[in-house]
Amino acid sequence: MENTSILVVEDEYRIRQFLRAALEGEGCKVLEAPTVAAGLALVSEYKPELVILDLGLPDADGRQFIRSLRGWSDVPIMVLSARNLEADKVSLLDAGADDYLAKPFGVAELLARLRALKRRREKRPMDSSAIVKFGEVTVDQVNRLTFRNGEPVHLTPREYHLLTIMLAQPGKVLTQRQLLREVWGAGHSEDGHYLRIYIGRLRQKLESDPSQPQHLLTETGVGYRFCQ
């Protein structure tokens, strides 16, 4: 995290100071904004590498910040909020947030999640020649082939499509609606049972222990996350 520039959008001064101390302790460069308007202006001017966002801001809801920012920037956004309902998490991720941490939170977990966001940001976008390895699995996207321990694994076209969408965004929570729209189309955005079945099939084929997956992870009530 050394020299990583991070914008903290939070209206409570004490929380901003707490976050500044924690982040500067890791060698980060910290910008602060108490409002949505000030936060958007700082992103435009300084182009931070990460954004930490509170939702309850005095001039607008944090969702407005996300929607406005996503019109012109893909900087990773970590939401911090006391709102802990699954519906809130889903709506924020659908709006364009990259991760969500409920208050109160531990500094160690916050820093770990920020490091994960930064690693994902630094990865090159996948192209058709990418070869991805995780656990015992190798996915060759040149030839659309999948191997486990060197042995070919048969994936149906839809299983393969779902897998590659997840591989393209390691560490990011993808909501059920996002995945359903991508793989099955907009008309199936509420058909979560399809997704559960296909994630289960992928785990059976690719995970060392499907009952304790290490790579295709469930975010309960929200969606799924791929971890290398």
Q: What is the pLDDT of residue 27?
A: 95
Residue 167: its H or E element: helix 157-167
Q: What is the pLDDT of residue 122?
A: 72
Query: Tokens representing 88?
Result: 């809130």
Q: Is the pTM of this model over 0.75?
A: no
- The one-letter code for the residue type at 67 is R
CA distances from 157 to 202, 214, 227 (A): 12, 23, 22
Q: In what order do the strands lie in the sheet with 5-9?
A: 29-33, 5-9, 50-54, 77-81, 99-102
Q: What is the pLDDT of residue 187?
A: 64
Q: What is the pLDDT of residue 73?
A: 84
Q: What is the pLDDT of residue 119?
A: 81
Give pLDDT < 50 ranges for the chain. 126, 128-129
Beta bridge partners of 102: 81
Mean model confidence pLDDT for the chain: 87
201 vs 195: CA distance, rounded Å: 10
Q: What is the pLDDT of residue 129?
A: 47
Q: What is the pLDDT of residue 128?
A: 45
